[in-house]
Amino acid sequence: MRSGFVSLIGRPNTGKSTLLNSILKEKVAIISNKPQTTRNLVQGIYNEDDTQIVFVDTPGIHKPIDKLGVALNAQAYYSINDVDVLLLVVDASVPYGKGDQFIINKLENVDKPVFLILNKIDKLTNDQILLKINEYKDLYEFSEIIPLSALKDDNIDRLISVLKKYLPDNVKYFMDDEKTTQELDFRLSEIVREKIFIHTNEEVPHSISCKLVGYEENSKIAKVYIDIIVDRDSLRKIIIGANGNMIKLIGREARIDMEGILGKKVYLELYCKTIKKWREKEKYIKDLGYLL
């Protein structure tokens, strides 16, 4: 089983969304249906019998575009280091520019494989494609350079087969079925996670996890119960805050977002607990919805 996390990075309009859609066209488990990429960290999951590729957004590498983006940047919410492979998508039909330079500079200290995706080759001749490859290969030590056309579905299969070689031998992170419930679970808990990172200056995203532990709804109201799991008491104190003020703030803002998504009133109950070294504990990992 090969599985891992992959992030598409690059300037706007280089074709990242088109590429993602093209990859996920057939074998899709989850696609976020809201295009606010800074908020939807898992953008889609590609499943095959022996492969699972989780595409995630890494806001940290883009220029901050709004307040939320800034907050996510500052707190390295989803860092480059959380992914196994980075795909730098460039528009091969336009000249190399400052925006590309900005991103390549950011890659300097990255020790992950970075693929260069030369997109939109349907607009280029073969000679022009070769020129582009030569131009880019001196700018950075790309692990692979793959010319393709996301729009015309040209060479996407090659990208997938090369990607597989770079993914670790691993577990499946998400189940193949349970599409909708898994998605809702995930989205609701991610909202809480996001509020935690916005309001605390916490720099250890890996040690916080949010898990939907209960959900009931009728036509008027949804009751949502979420556990916030941390690995040390000091962190728990920060999240709860003086007189519970922090967890109330997190809860209030999360509830408002959830009401927007669910389209009805939400009763939200948050419970923060410490589980030391929870990541190493099988029971909890299973409870958290990961497959072992």
Nearer to ligand GDP, 123 or 286 (CB): 123
Stretch that binds Mg ion, among 13-21, 69-77, 105-113, 140-148 (CB under 5 A): 13-21
| Nearest distance, CB of residue 17 and Mg ion, angstroms | 3
Q: Indicate left, alpha or beta for 13 from its phi (over 0: left) and psi (-120 to 50: alpha).
A: left
Task: Pick between residue 13 and residue 181 the one whose CB is nearest to Mg ion.
Answer: 13
Alpha-carbon gap, residue 10 to 234, rounded angstroms:
37
Q: Residue of minimal CB distance from ligand GDP?
A: 15
Question: In terms of CB distance, is 37 or 189 closer to ligand GDP?
Answer: 37
For 192, the token pair is 């809480």
Q: Which is nearer to Mg ion, 90 or 272 (CB)?
A: 90
Q: For ligand GDP, give the closer residue by CB, 1 or 94.
A: 94
Provide the minimum distance between the beta carbon of 37 and Mg ion in the complex, in angstroms, as a whole number: 7
* Residue 264 C-beta: closest distance to ligand GDP, Å: 32
Which secondary-structure segment (H or E) carries 198?
helix 179-199
| Span of 15-23, 24-32, 108-116, 255-263 interacting with Mg ion by CB under 5 A | 15-23
Which of 17, 73, 155, 182 touches Mg ion (CB under 5 A)? 17
What is the binding site for ligand GDP (CB under 6 A)? 10, 12-18, 119-120, 122-123, 149-151
Compute the distance between CA of residue 244 and CA of residue 7 in angstroms, rounded to an integer. 36
Taking CB within 5 to 8 Å according to partner kind, which of ligand GDP, Mg ion, none is near residue 14?
ligand GDP
Sheet holding 144-147, edge to edge: 28-31, 42-48, 51-56, 2-9, 85-91, 114-119, 144-147
Position 58, amino acid = T
Instruction: Strands of the chain (E only): list them.
Output: 2-9, 28-31, 42-48, 51-56, 85-91, 114-119, 144-147, 208-217, 221-230, 265-274
Judged by the rule CB under 5 A, the positions of this chain that interact with Mg ion are 16-17
